[in-house]
Amino acid sequence: MDYLASGIKTIKLDKRYEHFYTIINNATSATIHEIFLLCLSIGFKKNRRKETGTLGTKEFRTSYLTQKDRAFMYSIMIQIDKDNFFTNIVEPSFQKEMEKTLISYANGGSEILIEEVIKDNWIESSELIDSHIKDLDLELAKYIYQELEAIPF
């Protein structure tokens, strides 16, 4: 069952990170779902979750995801709950719980990018000081490359 391919399914972002997604979108032209997948992969790799707060207005339809994107999300869901995934994936309550978990990992990845890439350009009100950060797309690429090259132990 590929419930993520449904044309009506949407994933809403945590309201606390909507401005962050806008900043990354403006700097890189990446779509909301691409930024979500980046943050999800970073948060999951680093095992960092930040529980979902109030859902905001930014969202994306899961039908926009490629087959590889959906496979990536399913593989993370399987790793989260190996024992129950295949029997429970058809249950809407299980799907909703998995989505909350994915969003919490994406929130964790957002936090990591704020701390390690944006750093001092992020202020308490969650607004980027736009004039003080240059080449955010390059900084993100450098961070990703460094993480790929990092010694795994």
Question: Token pair of 139, please?
Answer: 């900084």
Phi, psi dihedrals of residue 6, rounded to the nearest 5°:
-60, 135
The reported pLDDT for the residue numbered 123 is 59
The reported pLDDT for the residue numbered 131 is 45
3-state secondary structure of 117: helix
Give this prediction's pTM. Answer: 0.87
The reported pLDDT for the residue numbered 67 is 94
Residue 122 contacts residue 145 (beta carbons within 8 Å):
no
The reported pLDDT for the residue numbered 129 is 53
Per-residue pLDDT of the chain in tens (153 residues, 90 and over written 9):
688 887 788 999 999 999 889 888 888 889 999 999 999 999 999 999 999 888 888 999 998 899 999 999 999 999 999 999 999 989 999 999 999 999 999 999 999 998 988 876 665 554 555 544 667 888 888 888 888 887 665
The reported pLDDT for the residue numbered 121 is 65
DSSP conformation letters of 63-110: GGS-HHHHHHHHHHHHHH-TTTHHHHTTSHHHHHHHHHHHHHHHHHHH
18's CB contacts (< 8 A; 6+ apart) are 56, 57, 58
How many other C-beta atoms can be found within 10 angstroms of the C-beta atom of residue 32? 18
For residue 29, how many C-alpha atoms fall within 13 Å in the half-sphere facing its CB? 0
